Amino acid sequence: MAHGEITIVKSDHAEKLMKGSHELAAEIQRVGMGVLLINCGMSDRRFREYSEPAKLKAKSEKLKRGKKNPSAEKVHLIIHSSVRGDLAGERDAIAQKVRECRIGVVIIAGWEWASSSWRRKERLIFNLRELMADEDVAVVIYTQSPTKPVLGTYDRGGIGKLAMIAIACVDHQASVILEAEVPKPPPIVITEQEALEAERSAQLFINKINGLQPQMRNAEARMEE
């Protein structure tokens, strides 16, 4: 993830998508950054059922590491449900929450259900670009798109223009593996030592992705057979 950029996470199942988005939101809150988690694909009640287990997992991991982050208790994890297919029409309410709650990351779970028409989806993409420019937030979008997007290229029949502006596109399962293996630097780099740790983490992340790509291609080939 990067401030002012869009990251795409693909999943093949709605349950994995919703659970993964909650776990990511809880982890971001744990390290001390505000999160706005937007549900577009489930009922509000069903979606919120994933929230407590994710928070408990993040708290348990924090205790295991023996590193308590006092600021983590002060930052917000806001859940917002948009079930009418008009997330673009909720632009002002979302921007207000981002400003007032000091949100650093906006997660959209269920991109296919965020807009009920092509015109609304176009408006939503431009709204997100404006939000990133004005508020300097990172945006993570969870999708069940069956295509294989190529960054920088229009993804016809899939995520469309998002592929042209996204900074990264990763499979949910690959992100789970990377999360377990790559060390996490502090979310805000202040000292020279922390900057070096952030650079090391980024390099490890790239190396892990390069190492996983052949495995993912082999797995996809086996599934196609």
**Whether residue 132 sits in one domain with residue 60:** yes
Tell me whether residue 91 is in a domain.
yes
Whether residue 131 sits in one domain with residue 220: no
The verdict on pTM exceeding 0.75 is no
Residue 149 lies in a domain: yes
Phi, psi of 89 (to 5 degrees): -75, -10
Are both 125 and 209 inside the same structural domain? no
Bigger pLDDT: 70 or 130?
130
The β-bridge partners of 107 are: 37, 140
For the segment 127-168, what is each residue's pLDDT rounded down to a tens digit? 999 999 999 999 999 999 888 889 999 999 889 999 999 999
Mind listing the pLDDT tens digit for each residue in 171-215? 876 555 445 544 554 444 445 565 566 556 655 655 555 565 555
Please tell me the distance from the alpha carbon of residue 112 to that of residue 159, in angstroms, as a whole number.
9
Note whether 193 and 161 are same-domain residues. no
CB atoms < 10 A from the CB of 225, how many? 5
Indicate if 221 and 112 belong to the same structural domain: no
Provide the token pair at 3. Answer: 């401030």
* Confidence at residue 196, expressed as pLDDT on a 0 to 100 scale: 60
Q: Would residue 96 count as lying in a domain?
A: yes
Q: Which residues are CB-contacts of 76 (< 8 A; sequence separation ≥ 6)?
A: 29, 34, 35, 101, 102, 103
Q: Which domain holds residue 132?
A: 6-171
